[in-house]
Amino acid sequence: MSLCIVANNPYMKYLVIASDGRITKNGEMAGDDFKKLTLINEHISIFTSGVLACAEELRSAVQSRSKEKSVDEIALIAQEESIRIHNDFHFKYPSYFEGNDHTDMATIIGFFDTKTNENGYIKLCRSDGYTPHKIIGSSVQTSGYSQEAALEYFLNHFNGSEPCETIYNSFKHVSGSDKTVGGLMTMHIINEQGTSIYQAVI
């Protein structure tokens, strides 16, 4: 699992999606610069996390099937592939999640739709069968480890003129108390012109 923060600003016509780079295995840190955000095209970025093998299989499948697709088509591809990977994983490991609330995959798709001139994000999770939920209003969403702490910090320290700085500081705040969050943070800022990519160590 990981931490992702996504903030949508429909008035200024941009979206920011960011993820840490830390991965753990059996409770131990296994890497600090793992790629969890992937550009599908210049206006669409996908975040996947959860069981590493599942998340990576999903990322690869969506990326390979999404050429020249709309964001809504990509969301349906992500749903279809998530269900397939989920069923395969639970067939092999039927008791893997007994006694905890972890998930095999969590996905957020950030986008700017040049046809509708809308920006937003789509989230998919196991709890409702990976049904795509599209958000185009003013919103902030956190997903993963310490998501509540990240959201609380973001809302309490939000700076409308510097949202990227608020996101960075939210990661820094969480990493101070949760060592599963950290490493190289990657941030995608998506607008009509495309995607700008920034990285910083947290």
69 class by beta-carbon count within 10 Å (0-12 exposed, 13-18 middle, 19+ buried): middle
pLDDT at 172: 97
Please say whether the beta carbons of 45 and 59 come within 8 A. no
Over residues 17-41, the pLDDT tens digits come to 999 999 877 777 888 999 899 999 9
Please say whether the beta carbons of 144 and 2 come within 8 A. yes
Domain ranges across the chain: 3-201
pLDDT at 50: 85
Name the token pair of 46. 């996908």
pLDDT at 174: 97
Over residues 56-74, the pLDDT tens digits come to 999 999 999 999 999 999 9
- The model's pTM is 0.94
pLDDT at 101: 67
Name the token pair of 157. 């320290």
The whole-angstrom separation of Cα 81 and Cα 100 is 24
Q: What is the DSSP code string of 20-88?
A: ---EEETTEEEES----EEEEETTEEEEEEESHHHHHHHHHHHHHH-TT--HHHHHHHHHHHHHHHHHH
State the pLDDT confidence band at 123, using cuts at 50, 70 and 90. very high
Strands 44-50 and 184-191, bridge-based pairing: unpaired
The CATH number of the domain covering residues in 3-201: 3.60.20.10
